Amino acid sequence: MTSLADQLRLLLPPVSYDGTAPNLSAAIEAEAKALTAGVSASDSVYKTLFPDTGEGLEDWERLLGLPDPCLQGIPQTTRQRINAVISKLKDGGGQSKAFFIGLAKSLGYEITITTFQPARAGLARAGDAINGGDWSFTWRVNAPSVTITHAAAGMTSAGDPLAAWGNRALECRLNQLKPAESFLIFGYGDQDAENQ
């Protein structure tokens, strides 16, 4: 394979110019370096347009106000930081179970949601929960007891943790977006995982 400078030399008219002449050769080498640098810079700009590449992650976080205030000082893997950016970009708002399950998934968590209905005469049986008062406005997020996010090859830089444990990012994000009149509780481990 020939270098870019050799390809530029082939573009010269064969009789009029000698591509090996010292001054012309130096000019061609300089042009080849400038073109190579331009292509490299354009590749970087293109990758920065897509947050899932990890390029320009600090700029994406700055524009979106990340990390969230409740996660300040908590070490996160690059994958978690990228997931937070993508989650915030996808956040069109919503109040359905599907919206919050999708939001958690974009952060790297598999959850289910349980809602609580008050007991009604004629429908409730002995042993059923009463769920009166504020339980009508309460919902529980059921998640694994520990979620581990491992660093991804090619997206980890020096100083990043190799893995991060915990569900703090999940709690932080869902508490920010939950409906104001609702109460959100988290159940980890062997909770009732059925969507009611």
Q: Please say whether the beta carbons of 26 and 34 come within 8 A.
A: no
Q: Which of 5-14, 90-99, 136-145 has the lowest mean pLDDT?
A: 90-99
- Write out the two tokens for 72: 């300040």
Q: Please say whether the beta carbons of 175 and 184 come within 8 A.
A: yes
Residues present in the chain in total: 196
Give residue 191's pLDDT.
52
Tens of pLDDT, residue by residue over 130-180, are 777 778 889 999 998 888 777 777 777 777 777 778 788 889 889 988 888
Q: Please say whether the beta carbons of 160 and 189 come within 8 A.
A: no
Mean pLDDT of the chain: 84
Give residue 194's pLDDT.
45
Confidence of residue 30 (pLDDT cuts 50, 70, 90): very high
186, HSE (Cβ side, Cα atoms, 13 Å)? 21
- Write out the two tokens for 188: 């980890």
The one-letter code for the residue type at 99 is F
Query: Could you tell me the residue ranges of all domains in the chain?
Result: 4-48, 66-188
What global pTM score does this model have? 0.63
